[in-house]
Structure 1
């Protein structure tokens, strides 16, 4: 008997390790798709091992399995957190790894919640649809330091992106979840001993119909937009990529340059010789346009000489009512050297540009400032989006990670803007020589398709890029290179007016509402559910 019990215990342990291995493999597969865009196909079956591992589990056990998958996903896909902490504070490998692990553990809760809700709701509803719904809602709503969506792995699969002009990246997340669930169902089924209703007569046909419809629309729409964009006019845009090193202290000008005539200004001089319509700079550490009058004068004088507008970014500090107010601003100087527009950043990075939850607590602010030093900017949010009107087109500025938020970017594009171009200005030098700048770029690709507007992605250290409304990357610069580029960007009055840009919250709000109703139904006492079911059958009978 003891030998039999020991053998049974050994089998249970092996089975548990098998489940953990499956969960970890799901995290690894999705992380590889996030890190290396050419491997986008991995995302379409990355969750299959996790779904297999969840079969027959309780909701509590599913949470633990999901946590393992989440740890594998975020430890790999955001491995650059260690470089970020090292450049930020100069921490050694062990210290940086410990703090990064805390971040990864927090983010792993996202996948753990997906697994928990999948099993919990799968007892009452078809798991085939529960999983994609929960997956989409969780990734859309879970608060992370750096926004992440599953669909962002598909930037090199333009046929899959086209539906985002209607449903946003949330629609793509839903379809990816459906494909994973269909594959898992085809391999082993999705029912388990704790499941009451994992299938229905319509669940599977509707799932196949949704997937086929998504890709049919994608292929047809991609062909249409490829042809349409070829007929658009173009405008020459100068892109400056200075490749300044990261610095928590105020950086000194490079040898041979001054604050009034910096490296970006010298690169812009070359672009001005090519008669571009506008010159755009990335987000940089400090331009001193606001703080030093001679720098402001030099900027305006230089632009007047070029007779070419300049869009750049700078930090402003002002004393108001006895306190210092900091703003992260994108500035537009027209061809006459006059300030013609300004946008103050709204979506700020938590713990870098503002302190969430404890923002009005001086003690907490003092602690964060002491710990993060100069990196903590205590930036005040702007009041609303802005549009920079140029000759025949307009720029919609987004600073740093604002381009990572789908609904925010959609609301920034006004319906009446003249031939709008999305402009993302960023500085990714804090992440060292990692994949993070590529992840940022490929996430930005989806904003161009969602809003059917060209996008200029200009970064300090590269890769900078121009993305077409079809999702195709027209131009991409070299990584970690000081350079200036002239790129022809397609423009048209019809740009920036997609269904998603007009209704960015429609699908995700519907999914949240459906998820809330499902949770409410599962939380009802059994006798209430039975009464509702009997009443429904009675109505059907009459």
Structure 2
């Protein structure tokens, strides 16, 4: 191990960049759908050794001395995001004649930009670098800080945060209810990087003890949580989730809209399976209704006729406001609740839109150069002002999130305390049968565990599922399957800690690593003097 580490430390130039790139790409195997988290026990020790060798001239300024470490982190991040997000380009091939030109920008540009976060993580860690376990703590702090920043800077995109690699199955998901994503990111990087100590053997016993202790705590807490008796359910909900598997090439084709709507209606009106009750709630995916209700009021009448007394439909729609001869229309990506009279009882608009997908940033400027939004549909969307829970039958409250909104822990936490369940509607058909839909589902699944609430998820082509508050899949439909699932869902909130306490815990864990790294760094410098 010492010999291998020594060779990696001495790498220079393009060889160092290539190894960093390959180490980052290898770490993607820890994410869904591969879930081979053991790959991270190779990637992160390699990253530690690369940063060991990323030293600048002592006579240079601080920024120049940190530049080699930044480069290592950037190449690691570029490999990680390129291997983990290549599937985004699939969305541009749905209408290849119009958008194939943008494929290099999606495939290369997004990983190129996101890699700066990991470059800064390595640079921050390098400021506190030591030759012992302190550098492992420094790396954990740097990554935790930049993963947290990745959640909100430049509109935010916390996709495939490192911490998800430590939570491939429900047994290993339960700790998130204590640590939050900030703490989980810090702990995951620390544990993944600890094998780097095998090379130098400084603090090896301490590292081995922490390695065993943290993994045992992670697994043990999961076992206890899943073995604990379920909280008695005060109420329950019978749910039907519809997955129509609509071909995106037909999505906005006016000639097939009636056929798409008939498919949704037919799947919703089917008799429940043996031993199942008639659903109280029917859930359709994001933008599932293929027209505007303002243009087709007859569709609401048909829905009222289809819904039995007491039933409610939650459907993803495009909602129009301000139509008229003198007013410009505004369009919203929305979830609407439709009662058994065919009336829209409530609506929630998507708050966190996808840049270039649902709206064009700096539209007035960029449109002059012929640029337009790339994938979402025939109009730009406006962002909603706020999110609120929708009242369901029997007074239950469902908090809806549209598409990738569910990957933002803070967005979900804000409203989770006022709801009994989480609803996620999405249309991942843009990305086909690639890792993207599996990664999206995993992050939604972990939001359920984090907040101790069940999750109802309707996706156009999958993965549609019902997930319990401990992250266990009650029932699901596979990618590209067409059908519906009926589930009797007990409703009982099981959050271990409040969202505020979880946020504090995560920050404390991150700061603890930062303080430990700083103290060990200062001690090493004092001894050197």
Verify same fold: TM over 0.5.
yes
* CA deviation after TM superposition for structure 1 residue 184, in Å: 1.1
* CA deviation after TM superposition for structure 1 residue 489, in Å: 2.3
- For the Cα contact (< 8 Å) 1:411–1:504, is it kept in 2? no
- For the Cα contact (< 8 Å) 1:312–1:331, is it kept in 2? yes
* 1:137 alignment partner in structure 2: 145
Alpha-carbon distance in 1 for matches of 2:50, 2:389: 48
- For the Cα contact (< 8 Å) 1:355–1:378, is it kept in 2? no
Alpha-carbon distance in 2 for matches of 1:322, 1:516: 54
* 1:324 alignment partner in structure 2: 329
* 1:363 alignment partner in structure 2: 365
The aligned runs of 1:148-227 (5 Å cut-off) are 148-188=160-200, 209-224=213-228, 227=229
SS in 1 for 2:93: helix
Alpha-carbon distance in 1 for matches of 2:380, 2:481: 27
Alpha-carbon distance in 1 for matches of 2:158, 2:184: 19
Deviates more, 1:261-270 or 1:20-29: 20-29
2:349 counterpart of 1:344: yes
- For the Cα contact (< 8 Å) 1:169–1:446, is it kept in 2? no
- For the Cα contact (< 8 Å) 2:183–2:507, is it kept in 1? no
* CA deviation after TM superposition for structure 1 residue 86, in Å: 1.7
Deviates more, 1:168-177 or 1:505-514: 505-514
1:105 to 108, 112, 125: 112
CA separation of 1:13/1:505 partners in 2, compared to 1, >3 Å: closer, same or farther? closer
- For the Cα contact (< 8 Å) 2:74–2:116, is it kept in 1? yes
Where do 5+ consecutive residues of structure 2 fail to align? 1-6, 56-65
* 1:6 alignment partner in structure 2: none
Alpha-carbon distance in 2 for matches of 1:507, 1:222: 22
Alpha-carbon distance in 2 for matches of 1:70, 1:270: 48
* 2:77 alignment partner in structure 1: 70
Alpha-carbon distance in 2 for matches of 1:184, 1:13: 15
* 1:330-374 deviation line (CA, Å, top 9, x unaligned): 111234444332211112112222344x3xx63335657646384
- For the Cα contact (< 8 Å) 2:241–2:457, is it kept in 1? no
* 1:58-89 deviation line (CA, Å, top 9, x unaligned): 22112222222222211111111221222255
* CA deviation after TM superposition for structure 1 residue 119, in Å: 1.3
The aligned runs of 1:73-472 (5 Å cut-off) are 73-90=80-97, 96-122=103-129, 126-142=134-150, 143=153, 145=157, 147-188=159-200, 209-224=213-228, 227-228=229-230, 234-247=236-249, 250-252=252-254, 254=256, 257-258=258-259, 261-271=261-271, 275-284=278-287, 286-303=290-307, 305=308, 307-319=310-322, 322-356=327-361, 358=362, 362-364=364-366, 367=369, 370=372, 372=374, 374=377, 377-391=380-394, 393-415=396-418, 417=419, 420-472=420-472
SS in 2 for 1:470: coil
Alpha-carbon distance in 2 for matches of 1:85, 1:519: 44
Alpha-carbon distance in 2 for matches of 1:483, 1:80: 25
Report the TM-score when normalising by structure 1. 0.80
Alpha-carbon distance in 2 for matches of 1:429, 1:20: 35
SS in 2 for 1:228: coil
Deviates more, 1:84-93 or 1:41-50: 84-93
SS in 1 for 2:485: strand
Alpha-carbon distance in 2 for matches of 1:167, 1:500: 11
2:483 counterpart of 1:479: no
* CA deviation after TM superposition for structure 1 residue 185, in Å: 1.6
2:497 to 491, 496, 499: 499
CA separation of 1:446/1:51 partners in 2, compared to 1, >3 Å: closer, same or farther? same
* 2:60 alignment partner in structure 1: none
CA separation of 1:212/1:371 partners in 2, compared to 1, >3 Å: closer, same or farther? closer
CA separation of 1:289/1:516 partners in 2, compared to 1, >3 Å: closer, same or farther? farther
SS in 2 for 1:505: helix
* CA deviation after TM superposition for structure 1 residue 169, in Å: 2.3
Alpha-carbon distance in 1 for matches of 2:458, 2:357: 21
Alpha-carbon distance in 2 for matches of 1:188, 1:64: 23
Deviates more, 1:84-93 or 1:279-288: 84-93
- For the Cα contact (< 8 Å) 1:271–1:486, is it kept in 2? no
Alpha-carbon distance in 2 for matches of 1:229, 1:271: 31
CA separation of 1:511/1:160 partners in 2, compared to 1, >3 Å: closer, same or farther? same
CA separation of 1:382/1:265 partners in 2, compared to 1, >3 Å: closer, same or farther? farther
Alpha-carbon distance in 2 for matches of 1:339, 1:45: 53
CA separation of 1:183/1:11 partners in 2, compared to 1, >3 Å: closer, same or farther? closer
* 1:97-124 deviation line (CA, Å, top 9, x unaligned): 3542122211222222222222123259
How many residues align? The count is 497
1:47 to 23, 28, 44: 44
- For the Cα contact (< 8 Å) 2:337–2:344, is it kept in 1? yes
CA separation of 1:92/1:413 partners in 2, compared to 1, >3 Å: closer, same or farther? closer
CA separation of 1:123/1:325 partners in 2, compared to 1, >3 Å: closer, same or farther? farther
- For the Cα contact (< 8 Å) 2:161–2:185, is it kept in 1? yes
- For the Cα contact (< 8 Å) 1:134–1:515, is it kept in 2? no
Report the TM-score when normalising by structure 2. 0.82
